[in-house]
Amino acid sequence: MTSSPSPRRPSRSRVESFRFAFSGIWYALRTQPNTQIHAVVTVGLLALAAWLGLSRAEWAILALTIGLVWVAELLNTALEALMDLVSPDIHPLARVAKDVSAAAVLITAIIAVAVGLLLLGPPLWAKLLGH
Protein backbone atom coordinates (compact mmCIF):
# COMPACT_ATOMS: atom_id res chain seq x y z
CA MET A 1 0.00 0.00 0.00
CA THR A 2 1.48 3.34 -0.99
CA SER A 3 0.66 6.53 0.74
CA SER A 4 -0.04 9.69 -1.14
CA PRO A 5 2.87 12.08 -1.32
CA SER A 6 2.85 14.95 1.12
CA PRO A 7 2.35 18.39 -0.40
CA ARG A 8 5.75 19.50 0.86
CA ARG A 9 8.64 17.11 1.29
CA PRO A 10 10.96 17.41 4.28
CA SER A 11 13.73 19.94 3.83
CA ARG A 12 16.63 18.71 1.77
CA SER A 13 19.01 21.36 2.98
CA ARG A 14 19.44 24.09 5.54
CA VAL A 15 19.14 26.64 2.75
CA GLU A 16 15.72 25.27 1.87
CA SER A 17 14.70 25.40 5.54
CA PHE A 18 15.67 29.05 5.71
CA ARG A 19 13.78 29.71 2.48
CA PHE A 20 10.60 28.26 4.05
CA ALA A 21 11.10 30.37 7.17
CA PHE A 22 11.61 33.57 5.19
CA SER A 23 8.59 32.65 3.10
CA GLY A 24 6.55 32.56 6.32
CA ILE A 25 7.84 35.95 7.41
CA TRP A 26 7.13 37.37 3.95
CA TYR A 27 3.59 35.90 4.01
CA ALA A 28 2.89 37.55 7.37
CA LEU A 29 4.30 40.89 6.19
CA ARG A 30 2.24 40.81 2.98
CA THR A 31 -1.05 39.71 4.49
CA GLN A 32 -1.22 40.74 8.15
CA PRO A 33 -1.77 44.43 8.96
CA ASN A 34 -0.54 43.96 12.54
CA THR A 35 2.71 42.41 11.28
CA GLN A 36 3.16 45.44 9.03
CA ILE A 37 2.70 47.69 12.06
CA HIS A 38 5.27 45.62 13.99
CA ALA A 39 7.71 46.02 11.11
CA VAL A 40 7.35 49.82 11.04
CA VAL A 41 7.63 50.06 14.82
CA THR A 42 10.68 47.75 14.79
CA VAL A 43 12.50 49.91 12.24
CA GLY A 44 11.61 53.06 14.18
CA LEU A 45 12.78 51.59 17.48
CA LEU A 46 16.06 50.38 16.00
CA ALA A 47 16.72 53.83 14.53
CA LEU A 48 15.85 55.51 17.83
CA ALA A 49 18.05 53.10 19.79
CA ALA A 50 20.97 53.77 17.44
CA TRP A 51 20.47 57.53 17.79
CA LEU A 52 20.38 57.23 21.57
CA GLY A 53 23.55 55.12 21.63
CA LEU A 54 22.27 52.23 23.73
CA SER A 55 24.77 50.00 25.49
CA ARG A 56 25.29 46.40 24.39
CA ALA A 57 23.20 45.15 27.30
CA GLU A 58 20.39 47.54 26.40
CA TRP A 59 20.58 46.41 22.76
CA ALA A 60 20.31 42.81 23.91
CA ILE A 61 17.22 43.56 25.99
CA LEU A 62 15.68 45.51 23.12
CA ALA A 63 16.43 42.72 20.62
CA LEU A 64 14.92 40.07 22.90
CA THR A 65 11.83 42.17 23.48
CA ILE A 66 11.31 42.91 19.78
CA GLY A 67 11.91 39.24 19.00
CA LEU A 68 9.33 38.17 21.56
CA VAL A 69 6.67 40.33 19.92
CA TRP A 70 7.57 39.03 16.44
CA VAL A 71 7.43 35.40 17.62
CA ALA A 72 4.03 35.96 19.22
CA GLU A 73 2.70 37.67 16.09
CA LEU A 74 3.98 34.94 13.77
CA LEU A 75 2.60 32.17 15.98
CA ASN A 76 -0.72 34.01 16.07
CA THR A 77 -0.76 34.17 12.28
CA ALA A 78 0.05 30.47 12.02
CA LEU A 79 -2.64 29.52 14.52
CA GLU A 80 -5.25 31.65 12.77
CA ALA A 81 -4.42 29.99 9.43
CA LEU A 82 -4.63 26.56 11.03
CA MET A 83 -7.98 27.35 12.65
CA ASP A 84 -9.33 28.60 9.31
CA LEU A 85 -8.19 25.33 7.73
CA VAL A 86 -9.60 22.92 10.32
CA SER A 87 -12.71 24.95 11.15
CA PRO A 88 -13.84 26.93 8.10
CA ASP A 89 -17.20 27.46 9.77
CA ILE A 90 -17.25 29.60 12.88
CA HIS A 91 -16.79 27.29 15.85
CA PRO A 92 -16.69 28.46 19.47
CA LEU A 93 -13.42 26.62 20.18
CA ALA A 94 -11.79 28.01 17.04
CA ARG A 95 -12.78 31.48 18.24
CA VAL A 96 -11.27 30.75 21.66
CA ALA A 97 -8.01 29.60 20.06
CA LYS A 98 -7.83 32.74 17.92
CA ASP A 99 -8.75 35.05 20.80
CA VAL A 100 -6.23 33.53 23.19
CA SER A 101 -3.53 33.67 20.53
CA ALA A 102 -4.33 37.33 19.90
CA ALA A 103 -4.23 37.94 23.65
CA ALA A 104 -0.69 36.52 23.74
CA VAL A 105 0.35 39.07 21.12
CA LEU A 106 -1.34 41.85 23.08
CA ILE A 107 0.43 40.88 26.30
CA THR A 108 3.84 40.72 24.58
CA ALA A 109 3.18 44.11 22.97
CA ILE A 110 2.26 45.65 26.35
CA ILE A 111 5.42 44.19 27.89
CA ALA A 112 7.43 45.52 24.94
CA VAL A 113 6.04 49.02 25.43
CA ALA A 114 6.99 48.89 29.13
CA VAL A 115 10.50 47.67 28.32
CA GLY A 116 10.81 50.29 25.58
CA LEU A 117 9.82 53.07 27.95
CA LEU A 118 12.27 51.86 30.58
CA LEU A 119 15.13 51.50 28.09
CA LEU A 120 14.53 54.38 25.71
CA GLY A 121 12.60 56.84 27.87
CA PRO A 122 15.39 58.17 30.11
CA PRO A 123 18.04 58.65 27.39
CA LEU A 124 15.45 60.14 25.01
CA TRP A 125 14.24 62.53 27.68
CA ALA A 126 17.84 63.53 28.47
CA LYS A 127 18.61 64.17 24.78
CA LEU A 128 15.46 66.19 24.27
CA LEU A 129 16.23 68.31 27.32
CA GLY A 130 19.85 68.74 26.22
CA HIS A 131 21.46 66.95 29.17
- Using alpha carbons, select from 114, 17, 26, 123 the residue that is nearest to residue 69: 114
SS (H, E, C) 88-106: CCCCHHHHHHHHHHHHHHH
Alpha carbon of 48 to those of 51, 56, 110: distances in Å?
Answer: 5, 15, 19
- Using alpha carbons, select from 24, 21, 23, 17 the residue that is nearest to residue 78: 24
Give percent helix, percent strand, percent coil of the chain, each to the nearest 5.
Answer: 80, 0, 20
Q: Which of 16, 58, 73, 80 is catalytic?
A: 73
Active site residue 80: no
Question: What does the alpha-carbon distance between residue 92 and residue 13 come to, in Å, rounded to a whole number?
Answer: 40
Catalytic residues: 73
